[in-house]
Amino acid sequence: MSGEAPGETLDDLVVANHILYAEGVVDGFGHVSTRHPERPDRFLLARSMAPALVAADDLMEFDLDGNATGGDTRTPYVERFIHGAIYKARHDVTAVVHSHSPSVIPFGVTGGSLRPIYHMSGFLGAGAPIFEIRNAGGMTDMLIRDNALGDALARTLGRGAVALMRGHGSVAVGFSIKQVVYRAIYTEMNARLQMEASRLGAIEFLAPEEARLAAAMNDTVLERPWELWKRKVEVGK
Ligand SMILES: [Zn+2]
C-alpha cells in the first residue's frame, strides 16, 4: 500500500491505468507509474495485473532499484525496473508509461524513424530512439527484468520523451501523469498515421523547431483531453 501518497495522485494513477486501456495503449500488459510526490526516491505502480482492473488498493510503492517498500509481498510487474531506472536518470520525469501498443512495433523492428507527422505529437522531436536489448543483454526474453537493462534503456531514452524497444514496445515519460498519458496515446496515433501516410508518398515531418513549439503549446492544454478520457472511462464503468 502507498498510504502516505496524496489521494489525488493515487486517483490520477488509477484513472491513467483505465484511460490507457480504453484508448488502446495497453491491453492485459503494459503499465503506468508516477514518482512519489513526497518521496522522489520512490515511485508508485500497480501490482502485476491488467491495467483496466487496477484500483487504489492495488498500487504498490517501490524504491528506485525496484524493491517494494514496507514489506509488501504482492507480486510486482517483472518490468518495474523500467520505471526506477528512468526516475534515477531523469529528475525532470514524474510519470512513465510502458506499453506494447501495436502501431509502434513496426518502427522498432525496421529502424524506420518514428517522427512527428502532426502537431499533436511534437514531443517526438527529431524522432524516437530505438533501444536494442541485444547490445545490453545479449540473448534475452526481451523483458527489462533487472536494473542493468533498465539503465541501458534509460541511456537510450536520453533526454527524449519516447523510446522504442525493438521487438517489444515503447516507453513514454512526462512531467506529470496527464502529460505521459497524452504522450503515450499520441505516440500510438502518430505511428498509425505515419504508416498510412508513408503509403501515399514521401512525408513532410514537422521540423524540429515546429515540433518544439507545438509540444510547448500542447503542454498548456493537457487538462482538456484528460477530462474527456476520464469521463469516458467513468461512464464505461
Ligand atoms: Zn513490456
User: 56 in helix, strand or coil?
Assistant: helix
Q: Are 64 and 43 in contact (CB under 8 A)?
A: yes
Position 64 pLDDT exceeds 50: yes
Arithmetic mean of pLDDT, 6-26: 96
Distance 146 CA to ligand 1 centre (A): 13
The set of catalytic residues is 79
- Supply the pLDDT for residue 1: 46
Residue tagged 484511460 (cell numbers): 19
Position 4 pLDDT exceeds 70: no
- Supply the pLDDT for residue 111: 85
Work out the pLDDT band at 101, boundaries 50, 70, 90.
very high
Distance 29 CA to ligand 1 centre (A): 7
Arithmetic mean of pLDDT, 144-160: 98
CA dist 233 and 199 (Å) reads 34
Average pLDDT, the chain: 96
User: 6 in helix, strand or coil?
Assistant: coil
Distance 77 CA to ligand 1 centre (A): 9
Work out the pLDDT band at 56, boundaries 50, 70, 90.
very high
Question: What share of the chain in percent tops pLDDT 90?
Answer: 95
CA dist 102 and 91 (Å) reads 29
Distance 80 CA to ligand 1 centre (A): 10
Arithmetic mean of pLDDT, 212-220: 98
